[in-house]
Amino acid sequence: MVTDVHGPIGRSHPPIAIILIAICTVWTYPVCQNVAHIQKKGVEHTMNRQSVWATKVATLIQGGNSQAALAQIKVAPTVKDLQQLRSLLTTKGLLSKNRLVDEATADQIVALSAPRLHRSP
């Protein structure tokens, strides 16, 4: 039997590569759709939840390690994180007790909010 690149001559079967591509497409499409759904859901979820950074820094302040907390506040990731930290400390009554922390968070919010004066990631 004579064959060429596409298989036996005279037969109208598609090449094996096309069959494999079709099978892979059918199998991977649902997986891609699930990943896209999970990623979209994850973005919505992270926008609504409390910042991990804010809870950790609040724990430092609550534990009495205000110097470490001040160092963290100086390198705060975003304004949103600082605002969440301030709200956490206000609800726990710690913001009024720690004047330095209050001033540092207010200063960092101003610094990160200023145009062209932001930290790069």
- pLDDT tens sequence across 53-110: 999 999 999 999 999 999 999 999 999 999 999 999 999 999 999 999 999 999 999 9
Looking at residue 93, its pLDDT comes to: 93
Looking at residue 89, its pLDDT comes to: 95
Indicate the domain borders of the chain.
3-48, 52-113
Looking at residue 5, its pLDDT comes to: 57
Maximum CA pair distance of the chain?
A: 91
In this prediction, residue 50 has a pLDDT band, given cuts at 50, 70 and 90, of confident
Looking at residue 99, its pLDDT comes to: 94
In this prediction, residue 44 has a pLDDT band, given cuts at 50, 70 and 90, of very low
Q: b vs e for 37-54, b when ≥16 Cβ sit within 10 Å of the residue's Cβ?
A: eeeeeeeeeeeeeebebb
Q: Are 64 and 36 in contact (CB under 8 A)?
A: no
Write down the pTM of the prediction. 0.56
pLDDT, mean over the chain:
77
